[in-house]
Amino acid sequence: MATVEIRDVRKSYGPVDAIKGIDIAIRDGEFLVLLGPSGCGKSTLLRMVAGLEGITGGEIAIGGRVVNTLEPKDRDIAMVFQNYALYPHMTVFDNMAYGLKIRGIPKAEIRARVDKAAEILELGRFLDRRPSQLSGGQRQRVAMGRAIVREPAAFLFDEPLSNLDAKLRTQMRVEIKRLQDRLRITSLYVTHDQVEAMTLADRILVMNHGVAEQIGTPLEVYQRPASLFVAGFIGSPPMNVLDGRIDDRGEAVLVPGGQRLPLPQPRPTDAGRPVKLGIRPEHMAVAAEGFSIEIELVEALGADTVVYGRLPDGETLLVRMAGIPTVRERDRMTVAPQADALHLFDAVSGRRME
C-alpha cells in the first residue's frame, strides 16, 4: 500500500529522448494505466519505476521514499512481464515462493501465502507443475501469483495480456479487475489496448512520443480528449476529424461542403479561426439535413453497424448505428452529429479548445 509519485521524469538513450518529462502522482490503491502506441515509452517509464532502467532526470518516490538509486529488490514492488518470465525449471509453487525465500520469510508463512494466492487465482491443482505444463492463461496467473505473494507496495504490469488469445484476454481482464477490487494495491499497468485501459483503469495516462498527452479517468479521456492524438487513439472506430473554420460570429463551425454546425456555446473570441472538428462515429445519426455521404462499406458487427461513408469532398466519414444494418453499400444517406458532441481542436497544435 503506497503512493507512487513520478516527478518530471526523463530518460535519454544517448541523443534519443525516450521520456520527455512526465509528472503524475498515483494515489494509494489506485490503478493507473499507461496507454499509448508501441514505442511511445510506456515500458521505459514502468521499468524506471521498477529500477530496471536508470533515471536520466527527475524523481520517483514510492510510499513517500525517493527510490532513484535503490535496487529493484529494495523498492518493494512486484512486476508481471509480458512473456511471464517464469523460472522454467521450478514448479509453480517454487516460482511463487522464490522471492519470499530470498527475503528469508519463514517456511510456514511462505506456504500460507502461496496457498492463499493459489486459491485466489485457482492454481491450487497446479502447484507441483512446471510452467511448461501449463496453458498460457495459467502461466499468466502464476506470474500474477508471484506478484501477489510478495504483498508489495505497488504492482507493475507490462502488457501482461498481450500474449493471450482474444477470449482469454477478456477473461483475464475481468480477473485482474476482480483482483484489484479485492486487494486494492497501487498498480501501474502498461498496455496499448484501449479496451483494457478503459475497463481496468481508475485513471489513464495517455502517452505519445515520451510525453503525457492526457491524464484522466476513462470517461474523461473519452468524453473530453485533450488532443487530436488522444481523440484518435481512444474509441473504436476512431473519431472523425474534419477541417473546419469557426464562422465570423463565433456561433458555428463551417466545414467544407458548406455544412454549418452550430456550437453549443458561442465563442466570439475564436471567430474566423481554423479548427479541427472531431465527431465520434457513435454520435452521428440519420437526419433530415447534414452530411450527405455515399456509403462505401457497411460492417455489421451484430450489436451495431459501422458505416464508412464518403463526403462530397472525398473525405471518409464513419457512422456507428445501433442494431443490424438498415442501409446498403452505394446508397446515399444524410447524417448529422448530436449538437453537444462536437470536439474542437486547434488546427496547428492539435490541443483541445475548451
Ligand X SMILES: Nc1ncnc2c1ncn2[C@@H]1O[C@H](COP(=O)(O)OP(=O)(O)O)[C@@H](O)[C@H]1O
Binding site for another protein (CB under 8 A): 50-52, 71-73, 77-79, 81-83, 85-89, 98-99, 102-103, 130-132, 146
Query: Minimal distance in Å, beta carbon 13 to ligand X?
Result: 3
Q: How far is the CB of 213 from Mg ion (least distance, A)?
A: 17
Least spacing, CB of residue 207 vs another protein, in Å: 21
Minimum CB distance to another protein, residue 146 (Å): 8
Query: Do 344 and 280 form a contact (C-beta atoms < 8 A)?
Result: no
Q: Minimum CB separation from ligand X for residue 230, in Å?
A: 16
* Binding of residue 95 to Mg ion (CB under 5 A): no
Is 191 one of the binding residues for Mg ion (CB under 5 A)? no
Contact indicator for 269, 250 with CB cutoff of 8 Å: yes
**Which of Mg ion, another protein, ligand X, none does residue 72 bind to, with CB < 5 to 8 Å depending on kind?**
another protein
Identify which of residues 54 and 312 has a Cβ nearer to another protein in the complex. 54
> Quick check: 291 and 319 in contact, CB under 8 A?
no
Between 34 and 96, whose beta carbon lies closer to ligand X? 34
List residues binding ligand X (CB under 6 A): 13, 16, 18, 36, 38-44
Which residue's CB is nearer to another protein, number 80 or number 253? 80
Smaller CB separation from ligand X, 60 or 118: 60
43 binds Mg ion (CB under 5 A): yes
The residue (of 150 and 320) whose beta carbon lies closer to another protein is: 150
Question: What DSSP assignment string belongs to 219-259?
Answer: HHHHHS-SBHHHHHHSSSSPPEEEEEEE-TTSSEEEETTTE
* 277 within 8 A of 271, measured Cβ to Cβ: no
| CA 143 distance to own-chain centroid | 21
Cβ(322)–Cβ(304) under 8 Å?
A: yes
Q: What angle do CA 311, 313, 317 make, to 5 degrees?
A: 30
Of residues 41 and 281, the one with the C-beta less far from ligand X: 41
Nearest Cα to Cα of residue 62 among 25, 93, 34 = 25
Distance of CA 168 to the CA centre of its chain: 18
Output the smallest distance, CB 221 to Mg ion, in A.
Answer: 20
User: Of these partners, ligand X, Mg ion, another protein, none, which one is at the site of residue 85 (CB under 5 to 8 Å by kind)?
Assistant: another protein
Contacts of 92 (CB under 8 A, 6+ apart): 118, 123, 126, 127, 128, 129, 130, 131, 134, 142, 145
Rounded distance between C-alpha atoms, residue 102 and residue 221, angstroms: 42
Q: Which does 83 bind (CB under 5 to 8 A by kind): ligand X, another protein, Mg ion, none?
A: another protein
Number of H helices and E strands in the chain, helices first, is 8, 19
Which positions lie near Mg ion, rule CB under 5 A? 43
